[in-house]
């Protein structure tokens, strides 16, 4: 899905404060699983969260996109990264913490695949581990037919990404139109992204189905909330 934009991903999302987000995560984890030492980031992208989180944890990452993983490996060096589908992966080990951030869970597309993803993540949790999922928007929040512009203005890199939001059933549709300027010239390309609009109840049922007790932080890291889950005790 990032086949054209992978190498511009970090520039496009340079507004994200990965440092403060990771500090917030570490505080949440310490409250619920003191002494946690290992962490798996599912849909880790280019590894920007892992770069910060390895200050506290032995980290690993997983993503379906080989180009994003290549960037992450260059960034993180010897950190173990896996090219896997988040809905059905099996790594043969467990972790004190599993995260799925920046609304990546929306890309699973259907409720059945949401259930599969939560089940796969839960299967990789240690008995007192914590699972943290940053959701995508809910159906009532998504607004279709609204134009959006994201721009990057660096000395040797100019980016304009235009979008008009759409909706097809329970899918948010984002048809991104990119215009990229570098010293080598100007290029234009398109990408279509689809993210499922799950309800709060659907998220909660996915956690409950695999024996996890969940709480919802409505603010979360960037205003989209967080689901924080552990084994029911």
The DSSP annotation for 169-183 comes to: TTEEEEEEEEEEEET
Separation between Cα atoms, residue 130 and residue 99, nearest integer Å: 8
**Model confidence pLDDT, tens digit, residues 60-97:** 999 999 999 999 999 999 999 999 999 999 999 999 99
Supply the range of the domain harboring residue 161. 147-196
Q: What is the pLDDT confidence band of residue 113, given thresholds at 50, 70 and 90?
A: very high
What tokens were used for 60?
């690993």
Question: 209 lies in a domain?
Answer: yes
Domains in the chain, number: 2
Considering the domain architecture, whether residues 17 and 127 belong to the same structural domain is answered as: yes
Beta-carbon contacts of residue 139 (< 8 Å; ≥ 6 apart): 170, 197, 199
**Model confidence pLDDT, tens digit, residues 164-201:** 999 999 999 999 999 999 999 999 999 999 999 999 99
Q: What is the pLDDT confidence band of residue 220, given thresholds at 50, 70 and 90?
A: very high
Considering the domain architecture, whether residues 164 and 204 belong to the same structural domain is answered as: no
Residue 3 has pLDDT above 90, yes or no: no
Residue 233 has pLDDT above 70, yes or no: no
Alpha-carbon distances of 62 from 4, 101, 102, 115, rounded to whole Å:
20, 12, 14, 18
pLDDT at 1: 76
What CATH number is attached to the domain comprising 38? 3.40.50.150
Q: Cα-atom radius of gyration of the chain, to the nearest Å?
A: 18
Question: 58 lies in a domain?
Answer: yes
Considering the domain architecture, whether residues 191 and 204 belong to the same structural domain is answered as: no
pLDDT at 87: 98
The owner of tokens 């987000």 is 21
Q: What is the pLDDT confidence band of residue 216, given thresholds at 50, 70 and 90?
A: very high
112-125: average pLDDT: 98
Considering the domain architecture, whether residues 93 and 166 belong to the same structural domain is answered as: no
CB 117 within 8 A of CB 124: no
Question: 1 lies in a domain?
Answer: no
pTM of the model: 0.97
**Model confidence pLDDT, tens digit, residues 126-145:** 999 999 999 999 999 999 99
The owner of tokens 């409505």 is 218
Question: 180 lies in a domain?
Answer: yes
CB 209 within 8 A of CB 197: no
């Amino acid at each position: 899905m990032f086949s054209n934009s992978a190498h511009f991903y970090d520039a496009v999302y340079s507004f994200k404060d990965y440092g403060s987000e990771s500090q917030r995560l570490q505080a949440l984890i310490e409250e619920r699983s003191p002494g946690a030492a290992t962490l798996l980031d599912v849909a880790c992208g280019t590894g920007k969260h892992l770069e910060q989180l390895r200050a506290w944890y032995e980290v690993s990452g997983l993503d379906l996109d080989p180009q994003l993983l290549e960037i992450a490996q260059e960034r993180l060096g010897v950190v173990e990264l896996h090219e896997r589908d988040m809905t059905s992966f099996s790594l043969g080990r467990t972790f004190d913490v599993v995260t799925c951030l920046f609304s990546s869970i929306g890309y699973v597309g259907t409720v059945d695949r949401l259930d599969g993803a939560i089940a796969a993540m839960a299967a990789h949790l240690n008995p007192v581990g914590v699972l943290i999922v940053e959701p995508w928007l809910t159906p009532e929040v998504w607004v279709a037919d609204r134009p959006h512009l994201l721009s990057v203005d660096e000395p040797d890199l100019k980016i304009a990404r235009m979008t008009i939001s759409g909706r097809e059933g329970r899918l948010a549709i984002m048809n991104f139109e990119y215009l990229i300027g570098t010293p080598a010239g100007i290029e234009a390309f398109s990408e279509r992204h689809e993210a499922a609009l799950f309800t709060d109840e659907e998220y909660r049922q996915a956690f409950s189905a695999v024996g996890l007790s969940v709480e919802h932080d409505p603010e979360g890291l960037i205003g989209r909330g967080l689901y924080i889950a552990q084994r029911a005790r």
